[in-house]
Amino acid sequence: MKTALTLIQMAASVLIVVLVLMQARGTGFGRSGGFGGSTSFSRRGLEKFIFRSTFVVAGVFIIVSILQVVF
């Protein structure tokens, strides 16, 4: 059980790093590549999916960390 939790925690931590690094600071995916002239700050499409996925994976990481302390 402990080994499985450790592996899940390691995978979640790598995923969090990747997802955070994929998010461009201060700009969106469309604005960072020079596409589109919109000054809107709403997230759409892939950017929204990555943003929400970051929170989901962080939640999994926290839950697994708590489970490791309990077990």
Tell me the per-residue pLDDT of 51-64, one tens digit each, with 9 for 90 and over: 999 999 999 999 99
Per-residue pLDDT of the chain (71 residues; tens, 9 = 90+): 999 999 999 999 999 999 999 987 765 555 555 555 555 567 789 999 999 999 999 999 999 999 999 98
Q: Dihedral through CA 6, CA 7, CA 11, CA 16, nearest 10?
A: -10
Residue 42 has what pLDDT? 78
Residue 24 has what pLDDT? 76
Name the pTM for this structure.
0.74
What is the distance between the alpha carbons of residues 66 and 52, in angstroms, rounded to a whole number? 22
Q: Domain residue spans in the chain?
A: 1-7+42-71
Residue 28 has what pLDDT? 56
